[in-house]
Amino acid sequence: MHPLSIFPQLFNYEIFAPLLLRLIVSLFLLWLGLSRYKKEYKGFSVLYFLSSILIFLGLYTQPASILGMAILKFDFYIDYWKNRNLVPVQTERYFLYFIAVVILISLLLTGPGAFAFDLPL
């Protein structure tokens, strides 16, 4: 039976998809941690760095994903409520937060993928 896919051979590499998502979201969290370090609430930059390193290494990916979602939510609300009357809504930044949360939910549900220190049970 032939699957309805143009490139069914690429399904052999499905284990690498979470790896790519993991690397991208960890770099995004690292970038947010560096930018948060220059603002108020500098303590949250440590949480950004911690979740970024854990997700990058694939170590404790599920708790690190939950931590990443929590600090993204905090950062979103701080930026939104503090600047709601001063500047127009920065839709690009909020869209990036949304994409990062979706990737973190994906990592929470599917696991870290290839080249991770997490072992499936």
Residue 97 lies in a domain: yes
Q: Give the whole-angstrom CA distance, residue 101 versus residue 79.
A: 16
Over pLDDT 90: what percentage of the chain? 48
Residue 3 lies in a domain: no
- Report DSSP state, residue 119: -
Residue 73 lies in a domain: yes
Cα angle 109, 110, 116; round to 5: 125
Query: Is the confidence at residue 108, as pLDDT, over 70?
Result: yes
* 106 CB-near residues (< 8 Å, 6+ apart): 18, 21
Residue 35 lies in a domain: yes
Alpha helices, H only, 11-120: 17-37, 43-57, 61-83, 91-110
Residue 36 lies in a domain: yes
Residue 23 lies in a domain: yes
pTM: 0.85
Instruction: State the average pLDDT over residues 10-33.
Output: 92
If one counts the domains in the chain, the total is: 1
Residue 45 lies in a domain: yes
Query: Is the confidence at residue 15, as pLDDT, over 80?
Result: yes
Q: Which of 15-19, 53-57, 59-63, 74-78 has the lowest mean pLDDT?
A: 74-78
Residue 30 lies in a domain: yes
For residue 61, give its domain range: 15-110
